[in-house]
Amino acid sequence: MIRIFRAEWIKIIHARSFWSMLCTYGFIYSVCVYAFAKFFASLTVNGGSIGTAIMNGPQAWAAIAWVGHWLSFLLGFTVIQLVCNEFEFRTNKQNIIDGYSPAEYYAGKIMLVLGVSILASLLYIVIAAISAGAYFAGEVVAAFTLACVGTLSLALIFAFFARRAGPAGFLFLAYPVILEPIINYLLSGNSATGMSQFLPAEAFSRLTPFPVSQSQWGGDLNFAHNSLIAVCVVIGLWSLSYLAFSYSDR
């Protein structure tokens, strides 16, 4: 594992495009949180400001997590670019020739997903602490991290299947907007308890629900339940893309 980590670290630490995308994410995230707070502060219901309710304490941390999760598609593009570049420049092939097993190569990409998710979570904590005070909501942070891991795993599976950044990026964007709603419709399921809750975009978005929704954790279901489903979906995505990678020519 240390061998894989060392190799992936050298690849990432010198990748300027990766760090500039992360900085862009941090900047856009901060601006969006500011705009979000301003927008809700201006809304009044029954004479009271919604912003005051949302941008305070645990609610604020949940709201900022919701914003961050929606913006994590930017990080998804970074993952797609890094993984697809390896296919395009055949460095994935060279890594295997140099001594990675397909499983080790894939483990390196999972490390990338986890690493980016951890960095995004650290950014989230900093932004949330600055915007909403040093209230530390362990469950919300864990949910945000898991949602990032899920979204980036979705990017990973498209990168491994398409192997080209353009088509992979398109699929990554189109999946939650077009494909998943169609699948959801075909399943005719109840998104709260039926098969639809196992669809990736649904499973991950339920971890960071919109803060004014009925319950913080999406309907009647709780954090543990949603997290368990998200973990199962992530493992399913990883398994699928690993199988596709290991049973094909590099």
Partner 1 sequence: MSILSINGLSKRYGTTHAVRDLNLTVEPGNVYGLLGPNGSGKSTTLAMILGVTRPTAGQYQWFDGAYSGARSRRRIGSILERPNFYSYLSVVQNLKVTCAIRGLGTSADIDSVLKLVGLDDAKNQPFDNLSLGMQQRLAMAAALVGETDVLVLDEPTNGVDAKGIAEIRQIILDVASQGKTIILASHILDEVQKVCTHISILKAGRVLESGSIENLLSAEECIEIAGHDMQGLFLAMENLKQFESIERHEEYYVARLRPGADIAQINAHLVHQGHPPFHLSRIKQSLEARFLEITGEQ
**Among 11-19, 134-142, 147-155, 202-210, the segment contacting partner 1 (CB under 8 A):** 11-19
Should residue 1 be labelled a site residue for partner 1 when binding is judged by CB under 8 A? Answer: no
46 forms part of the interface with partner 1 (CB under 8 A) = no
Site for partner 1, residues 144 to 183, rule: CB under 8 A = none
Task: Return the number of the residue (177 or 249) whose C-beta is nearest partner 1.
Answer: 249
Q: Looking at 27, 39, 89, 136, which residue binds partner 1 (CB under 8 A)?
A: 89
Question: Tokens 């629900």 label which residue?
Answer: 209
We find the least distance from the C-beta atom of residue 93 to partner 1, in angstroms, to be: 5
250 binds partner 1 (CB under 8 A): yes
Residue from 34, 42, 90, 220 binding partner 1 (CB under 8 A): 90
Q: Tell me the window of 83-91, 135-143, 147-155, 214-222 that interacts with partner 1 (CB under 8 A).
A: 83-91
CB 72 within 8 A of CB 144: no
Query: 179 to 198, contacts with partner 1 by CB under 8 A?
Result: none
Is residue 96 near partner 1 by the rule CB under 8 A? Answer: yes
Residue with Cβ nearer partner 1 (88 or 220): 88
Q: Of 92 and 208, which has the nearer Cβ to partner 1?
A: 92
The residues of the shown chain that bind partner 1, judged by CB under 8 A, are 3, 6-7, 10-11, 14-17, 89-91, 93-101, 104, 247-250
